[in-house]
Amino acid sequence: MTVRSLLGLAALNLFALAVGAGLLWGLRGWRSWWELARLAGLAYMLGIAGLGVALTLVLVAGIQFSLATILLTGMALAGAGAAVAHRLGRPRPVLGTGPRRVGLAGAALAVLVVVYLEALFRAARLSGLYAFDAWSFWVPKAKAIYFFGGLDEQFFSELPNATYPPLVPTLEASAFHFMGSPDVVTLHVQFWFFLAGFVAAVAGLLATRVPPVLLWTFALLALVSPRVVGRTLEPQADFTLDYLFALAALLVVLWLLERRPWQLAGATLFLGAVMLTKREGQLLAACVVAAALVASWRDWRTAWPRLGLASACALALALPWRAWYVSHDLTGEFPSSGGTGLLENLDRAWPSFQSVLTSAFSTDLWTVVLPLVIVAVVLAFIGGARVLPVYAMLVYAFALAGFTWGIWSFVELEVPIEQDEAINPVVRLSASLIVLSAALVPLLLDAAWRGADPPRRPEAG
Amino acid sequence: MPRVSAWLVVAVAALGYPLLVLVFSGPPAFPTRADCVLAPTGEGEYRVVFGYRDSELEALELRDRALAVGFQGTEISRDGCGRVRVAVDDIPSREVGEEVIREARTVDLDPTLEQEG
């Protein structure tokens, strides 16, 4: 039973990698096969984001969801990428000169990350479905898509959080198809693939930009956070959202620094996927875009139209789902007191902010990640960098403000506000900032060491 | 440090960890659907299982067959391994269970005796 499921999941994720490689070929191409190996994690996450978005649109369009649908959709995405690459005349890649040099310290840290992931795999493949939200609605939605072949309005409306976007249930249903059954135990391995893919994507993007010691230190620091160790394998959308958000934010800042079109295009796909993963994805996407607009104000004439176009495209990917649930009378997307209701609950403002800060800086959850983020931002400023630390600071600040608004408007959570995760979503919200740190902090510290923003360089990947 | 050496360190660790796990913990377990079938142990109550099906529709057909020939109390339930079980629960003893099985075989049903979980 589980052997077949594991092989099926391996096949799905190899398929996602192939789809993502097609998208990456269209977005930027690669000069050598070693370069593709370095960017394999990014290709995989592009494939996951692309498949998630496309299959969500397929469901909204009412097309029968089946194994054939998944395969055809993936092939269409990869084919589109290949067509774009052909049109742009991308040169054939050469073999290349082999992997980059990694020092002993970097190798030792990379070893720890690899062994950590291997150990997590052992936990994933025999995990039971214990997480409340997972068995309450995430996995039931996935089973409904798997068994009914589409979005069943009645079933979705009866489950909690009916308006939550279906990207993760769609991917879970895809996993069920490849596994040949709704194996909710082996399903946890799919979330191990998401984590491993995220780590590989960040490593691949930063390998040519920061020293290996910085890269692997902060990857490891984020990975060993108690919350990550304990919850990252749960078949829910929380950490998936965080990975997609962090990759979008990373690609946007790389674009701000290097202005390679493919970086903004890749970020657009991830932003669309973020908004189709959870409701708070819209907030996180807005934080990334707003921070980028402010950080690029010096050359707003060239940057702002491009950021606007990227935002519009990402929004266009997310709108069909919104149209579907509005047309099917599903409600509850926004908190009832999120607008003018805030003024009626001014006494909640400070406690909400305190709740957010308490969670974000909790050493029980995240060790010392966020304090180190603050140190990294300050050092980057002192070192002379500007665009990078301004962007990073604003992403975190806007996100903390957004989370405060979310808790403030969640009037069912009474003052004094408890940190109990069962009733307060702030812990799940703050995870996104920790995951983001694994991507941004190495860049910040490298900028502090260099004494400037990372230079615009010839295509370094 | 030569370029290849550092990567070799990573590769050795990546292979070494699972090898150590195999050495000290033995081969990994791969649960099968058979693990959800509990053999009679003599403690507690039993169930007479008429069969397992992959879908509730198929299980209902078998249940209806069993009910039609007089096995009152036959119900369907999920077995926890992705299958649907068709069974009579709460059999008080092994002897009663075996008697039920003998009767079922006279009407072309082939149930088995299992322990209730």
- The reported pLDDT for the residue numbered A276 is 97
Q: Residue A456 pLDDT more than 60?
A: no
pLDDT digits (tens, 9 = 90+) for A277-326: 999 999 999 999 999 999 999 999 999 999 999 999 999 999 999 999 88
Which residues on chain B are in Cβ contact (under 8 Å) with A111?
9-10, 13-14
Q: Residue A338 pLDDT more than 70?
A: no
Q: Cis (ω within 30 of 0) for the bond into A416? A: yes
- The reported pLDDT for the residue numbered A146 is 95
- The reported pLDDT for the residue numbered A340 is 61
Which residues on chain A are in Cβ contact (under 8 Å) with B1?
101, 103-104, 107
- Give how far A91 is from chain B: nearest CA, Å: 28
Question: What average pLDDT is seen over chain B?
Answer: 90
Mean pLDDT of A205-212: 94
A53 is a domain residue: yes
A101 is a domain residue: no
Range of the domain at A50: 2-88+106-450
**Phi, psi for A438 (deg, rounded to 5):** -60, -25
Confidence band for A455, pLDDT divided at 50, 70 and 90: low
Instruction: Return the minimum-mean-pLDDT range out of A15-19, A84-88, B27-31, B64-68.
Output: B27-31
A94 is a domain residue: no
Interface of B with A in 23-52 (CB under 8 A): 28-33
Closest CA to B13 of A395, A240, A117: A117
Confidence band for A337, pLDDT divided at 50, 70 and 90: low
- Between CA B8 and CA A107 the distance in angstroms is 9
Of the residues B4, B7, B12, the best mutation for testing chain A's interface (the one with the most A CB atoms within 10 Å of its CB) is B7
A99 is a domain residue: no
How many CB pairs below 8 A link A and B? 57
C-beta atoms of A119 and B9 within 8 A: no
Q: Residue A193 pLDDT more than 70?
A: yes
Closest CA to A57 of A46, A66, A48, A65: A65
Confidence band for B3, pLDDT divided at 50, 70 and 90: low
Residue in chain B lying closest to A176 (CA): B82
Confidence band for A156, pLDDT divided at 50, 70 and 90: confident
Q: Which two tokens stand for residue A298?
A: 């010096």
φ/ψ region of A424 (left if φ > 0, alpha if ψ in -120 to 50, else beta) reads: beta
Q: Which of A110, A115, A183 sits opposite B17 (nearest CB)?
A: A115
Q: Residue A268 pLDDT more than 80?
A: yes
Which residues on chain A are in Cβ contact (under 8 Å) with B7?
99, 102, 107
Q: Residue B96 pLDDT more than 70?
A: yes
- Between CA A257 and CA A264 the distance in angstroms is 11
A82 is a domain residue: yes
**Phi, psi for A105 (deg, rounded to 5):** -65, -45
C-beta atoms of B3 and A99 within 8 A: yes
A400 is a domain residue: yes
Question: What average pLDDT is seen over chain A?
Answer: 92
Which residues on chain B are in Cβ contact (under 8 Å) with A126?
29, 31
The structural domain count of chain A equals 1
Q: Residue A458 pLDDT more than 60?
A: no
A391 is a domain residue: yes
pLDDT digits (tens, 9 = 90+) for B34-90: 888 999 887 789 999 999 998 889 999 999 999 999 999 999 998 888 789 999 999
A461 is a domain residue: no
